Structure 1
Amino acid sequence: MCIFSQNNMNIEMHSIKTNGSDAATHLMTAAAGNGDGHAYRCPRTAETKGLLGAQHNGHNGETTPSGRVAAYASPRGESAMCRVKKELREVVFWKVRLWMVVVMLFIVVVAIVLISLAVCAAIHEDADEKFDRSTFRIPRLFNGSFSLPGLVFTQDLLMGSSNESQALASVLQSKLTGLYASSPALGRYFSKAEIYSLRNGSVIAEYQLTFLMPEEHEERLRSFTLSREMVYNVLRQFLCDQEDHASGPFYIDPVSLKLF
């Protein structure tokens, strides 16, 4: 029994020694592979302390979260602005500074542009706007008719002297006069519009348009500007653009328009 216990103790002690030897061997191998353990770790520690020290010492002991880049970015930006301000404050001559010169140049440029626009507007003359209306003596007449489906015909409309007939004729004449007088192409030549008859068929109004032409351009005006097609198309477009509803009393049916 004693011999067995002693052997067991020897075995256990041998195991412990073997484990200790393995641990020592492992430490020595790690040290041999990485070099001196202290020599390997110290530079990293020193570098970290150096960076921390730089961060603390850069702003009187306060830590800068953004690092060295943030510490130097602001002074560079401020120095550029300072240079610009300093240059603008430089005296060009006498007591005039550079910023004053820049402002004066801007004001002069704006003034030149405004004066140029005013002069161009004053001297610009449209040749088409220069005409003597007293020379417009040759009449150009057009007759036609249209219907007003929103009106109910009465016997009073047959009598040109009745109040109802005169009131309706006045409204329609004003409508035609306003249309042709405001026309860019025909306005200068337009003289008058007249409703000379109202008859049955819903209500059919017969009208006459009078234009005056200068003698020197009579042929050209008859062929183009005051042609039947031009006068008809202006009135037809106006009727198509009416804002009144079809049931309105003064609505003119574009389809019923006639001009000859």
Structure 2
Amino acid sequence: MDLEGVVAHDIQLQTFKTNGNDGASYSSHEQGGADDVDGAPHRIPNATERDGLLSVQTPSCNGETVDHAAGAPQKCYFLNDVSLSSVDRIKRELNEVVYWKVKLWMVILFIFVLIVAVIMISLVLCSVIHEDEDENFDRSLFTVPRSFNGSFQLPNLVFTEELSTRSSSESQTLAAHLQEKLAGLYRSSPALGRYFSEAEISAFRNGSVIADYQLTFVMPEEQQDQLRNVTLSREMVYNVFRQFLYDQEQPDESGQMYIDPVSLNMSLRH
């Protein structure tokens, strides 16, 4: 036997065949081994086309991509569907007929309007019926007078002969403005307003301009002792006047009507 024949005899030729159905390939030996059955060659299966379909990517309920086994059903639960079903249920309940043609939403609206109306009526009645006891007094019972005298200085005015004459137009005009100013401050006082009667400028004197004034209050006879010691005491009347003067504008802003707080004097008139 020649050398080529020996080599061909010793080498086992392998033939590769391809299955046309699933693409599986196998190898066979020309001489079947002990594992061959009925002379059929032993098949070594490889990956098939179906193996690539075992995992399928599908979009999830929230838009993300997830892997699912082939053929496995996917279940999605949408929150929007739940919300819509709740809204529909509420609408149905509100549209339920309570009595005849009256629906539930009508009853709720009526109760709300009724509550608002009751609150508004209560507020109006309280404002009308309520009376401040301090404002409820009989002015005709205030018969006992109580007077104070004093003076103050007007530093922005220059004294003239006309101011020394009480009947002159300049003196009367200035006196009217000052009397209005004093009356306004005492009438606006919460403590003294009800008792105030009159403010009068009696004269103007030299020294820049010094004005002499007189204040008159009236009080009920029943409470005169208490009022003299507290409300209509000299200290109370004086402090109200002085505080008003300190709260006024600066001398260069208030003009001729500016009153110097330091110059204020007051005494009880007997």
TM-score range, shorter chain: 0.7 to 0.9
Return the alpha-carbon distance in structure 2 between the equivalents of residues 202 and 225 of structure 1.
Answer: 33
Aligned partner of residue 152 in structure 1, secondary structure: coil
After the TM superposition, which residues 122-201 of structure 1 pair with which residues of structure 2 at under 5 Å, given as runs? 122-201=128-207
Aligned partner of residue 78 in structure 2, secondary structure: helix
**Greater mean deviation of Cα atoms: 118-127 or 167-176:** 118-127
Give the C-alpha shift of residue 189 in structure 1. Answer: 0.8
Counterpart residue type for residue 186 of structure 1: L
Give the C-alpha shift of residue 245 in structure 1. Answer: 3.8
Give the C-alpha shift of residue 78 in structure 1. Answer: 1.5
Q: Percent identity?
A: 55
Residue 246 to residue 254, structure 1, CA distance change in 2 (3 Å): farther
TM superposition score normalised by structure 2: 0.72
- Where in structure 1 are there 5+ consecutive unaligned residues? 1-35, 56-63
Paired residue for 1:253? 260
Name the structure with the higher helix share. 1
- State the Cα deviation string for residues 58-83 of structure 1 (Å, max 9, x = none): xxxxxx73679997122122222222
**Greater mean deviation of Cα atoms: 123-132 or 200-209:** 123-132
Residue 37 to residue 96, structure 1, CA distance change in 2 (3 Å): farther
Residue 164 to residue 46, structure 1, CA distance change in 2 (3 Å): farther
Give the C-alpha shift of residue 93 in structure 1. Answer: 1.3
Counterpart residue type for residue 200 of structure 1: N
Paired residue for 1:65? 63
Larger radius of gyration: 2
Selected match of 2:233 from 227, 231, 236: 227
Name the structure, 1 or 2, with higher relative contact order (CA <8 Å, separation 6+): 1
Contact residue 149 and residue 246 of structure 1 kept, 8 A: no
Selected match of 1:243 from 225, 249, 267: 249
The runs of at least 4 consecutive aligned structure 1 residues that moved more than 2 Å come to 36-39, 45-49, 64-71, 243-247
> Is 1:105 aligned to 2:103, yes or no?
no
Paired residue for 1:218? 224
Contact residue 230 and residue 236 of structure 2 kept, 8 A: yes
- State the Cα deviation string for residues 15-74 of structure 1 (Å, max 9, x = none): xxxxxxxxxxxxxxxxxxxxx9959x958x64442x24x66xxxxxxxx73679997122
Return the alpha-carbon distance in structure 2 between the equivalents of residues 196 and 237 of structure 1.
Answer: 23
TM superposition score normalised by structure 1: 0.74
Counterpart residue type for residue 255 of structure 1: V
Name the structure with the higher strand share. 2
- Where in structure 2 are there 5+ consecutive unaligned residues? 1-44, 66-73
CA RMSD of aligned residues (A): 2.7
